[in-house]
Amino acid sequence: MRGDEFRAAMSYFLEASEERGRRFSIESLANVEAAIAVLDATYWAKALALTDVLDCMPQARRDEWNKAIAERKTVAFTEEAVRPTIANLLASRRKFFSERVDGIFRGLSGDHVTNQPQGFSKRMILADVLDSHGYTSHSRAGLINDLRSVIATFMGRPGLKHYETGYVIKRIAESRAWGEWHDIDGGALRIRIYRGVGTAHLEINPEMSYRLNGVLASLYPMAIPAKFRARPKSKSKTFKLMERPLPFAVLRLLEGCKVDAVPGGGTWTIYLPYGMDEGKHARQEAERVLEAIGGVPTKHLFTFDFNPREVLNTVLISGCLPDAVSHQFYPTPSSVAEAAFEMLDAGPDDTFLEPSAGLGGLACLLPPERTTCVEISGMRCEVLRARGYQAHQADFIAWAAAQRASTTRFARGLMNPPYSEGRALAHLREASTLIQAGGRLVAVLPATLRGKDLLEGWEGEWSGVFANEFAGTGVSVAIYAATRT
């Protein structure tokens, strides 16, 4: 026997000799039967990992397999056993779907009245997701993973691996946001976790609970009341699916990213991992995500002028980037931003307001310590705060209305508002109420408004037209600058 073969064989004897709570003994190295049991369990684990059955089967079945492998109680790893077992598991993937739904329902806590015995409702509670030390229970996290996987199937979004919800729970733990709601999978599911008691509260879109109850009704047709099988009459106001979930392959690449601080301070880098077989398109989209959160691509890495860990954490928990169309987010090109700043006529002690700030395409020209930003996207607020700005997550119209009752006013305002449905003028006029007497407001607006007197009691001027400056759009813009008299 060659040296490498001997070492490989001995590793199974050594593993078999390990018994919890006991010291290693020389005599145990002679236990051939125990070593073969380790070998069988190891190869069963490898065989299952080569297929997608672990990702398809319900958590209860995964628990059975994991226990058999951990306790080395699998059947002998022979061709006669492996071929029919794997074939049967692969053929059972369709059946596993309904088993998953049933397993999720049975796994809900019976001690909480929120969980209804007649079927799924919008809100549910799962106990023992964390143990008394705050560590994640893989089995209970697996039930949440099953729920996410079923909902992802309803949404036409395949590809969730059986272990990935554990990453989400770990990210929530790292954020220390216990007891706070977190939207995941584009808002189809919300989760909050209580560390002390270890429970997870879940909310799903009513349309999803209706579809889950449809699966339960197919299993137990006489047990699910008609009320739980009725489609919701109206769309939920709580779950407004404004965001496009990223493919799970993209999220796996981002999960593997490494964030490093560059010596000297002030700069951070992110490397996308290599060696992960997620495909070219997934890698390209992961690169677009890193650019969207403020990274500058340089060869094989992305450079940030702020620490991107918290922002990346937000993306990995939510599973998505805010949708540009829904949020009317079109970053201001540097040429337009610089021209707008020139027209601002800023002084050394001025305070600044930047509504609809995005990632800071305009704010980057203003001093962070004297600039207040408003942005509807939580992820972009994280970027702005990481760059040192005071950032409020809110719809600007609502935020401005609330601020009018305060005495806070700004010397200068710089903005590129959303354009659809007349929002450009509405945002401009709301911003004007927050500028002090003698202050100045500069806005990037649709060129169709150019030449109009937009603010009563203000002295305004217009720039020339900027055509085809916004990537992916055919919009032309002009800059409006006005001084409050």
DSSP 164-212: HHHHHHHHHHHHT-TT--EEEGGGTEEEEE-TTT--EEEEE-HHHHHHH
Q: Which amino acid is at 294?
A: G
Per-residue pLDDT of the chain (485 residues; tens, 9 = 90+): 555 665 666 676 667 666 544 455 566 666 778 888 888 999 999 999 988 889 999 999 999 999 999 988 999 999 999 999 999 999 998 899 999 999 999 999 888 888 888 889 889 999 999 988 888 999 999 999 999 999 999 888 889 999 999 999 999 988 888 999 998 998 889 999 998 889 999 999 888 888 999 999 888 888 778 877 788 776 544 444 445 788 999 999 999 999 999 888 788 999 988 878 888 899 999 998 898 888 888 877 999 888 888 889 888 998 887 654 444 456 788 889 999 999 999 999 999 999 988 888 899 999 999 999 999 888 888 889 988 999 999 989 999 999 988 889 999 999 999 887 788 899 999 999 999 999 999 999 988 899 998 999 899 999 999 987 665 556 789 999 999 98
Contact status, residue 303 vs residue 284, Cβ threshold 8 Å? no
d(CA 54, CA 47): 11
Contact status, residue 454 vs residue 428, Cβ threshold 8 Å? yes
Token pair of 40 as six digits: 């069988």
> CA triplet 370, 391, 414: central angle to 5 degrees?
60
> CA triplet 76, 82, 86: central angle to 5 degrees?
140
Cβ neighbours of residue 357 under 8 Å, at least 6 residues apart?
363, 373, 374, 375, 380, 384, 389, 391
- For residue range 189-242, what is the model confidence (pLDDT) as tens digits? 999 999 888 999 999 988 888 899 999 988 888 877 887 778 877 654 444 444
Our measurement of the distance from residue 457's CA atom to the centroid of its chain's CA atoms, rounded to an integer in Å, reads 45
Q: What is the pLDDT of residue 324?
A: 47
Q: What is the pLDDT of residue 470?
A: 62
d(CA 400, CA 345): 23
Which one-letter DSSP state was computed for residue 248? Answer: H
Task: Give the C-alpha distances (Å, rounded to integers) separating 311 from 290, 299, 317.
Answer: 10, 22, 10
Our measurement of the distance from residue 163's CA atom to the centroid of its chain's CA atoms, rounded to an integer in Å, reads 16
- For residue range 329-352, what is the model confidence (pLDDT) as tens digits? 567 888 899 999 999 999 999 999
Q: What is the pLDDT of residue 237?
A: 47
| φ, ψ for residue 432, nearest 5 deg | -65, -25
Task: Give the C-alpha distances (Å, rounded to integers) separating 57 from 136, 142, 350, 404, 408.
Answer: 20, 11, 61, 56, 57
What element of type H or E holds 321? strand 320-322
d(CA 193, CA 180): 7
d(CA 165, CA 59): 12
Contact status, residue 373 vs residue 402, Cβ threshold 8 Å? no
d(CA 122, CA 440): 48
Q: What is the pLDDT of residue 439?
A: 95
Q: What is the pLDDT of residue 57?
A: 92
Task: Give the C-alpha distances (Å, rounded to integers) separating 182 from 5, 138, 172, 314, 368.
Answer: 50, 20, 8, 9, 28
Q: From start to end of 383-434, where are the E strands? A: 390-393, 410-415
**pTM, 2 dp:** 0.71
d(CA 414, CA 362): 7
Q: What is the pLDDT of residue 399?
A: 94
Q: What is the pLDDT of residue 325?
A: 41
d(CA 469, CA 419): 15
What is the number of residues in the chain? 485
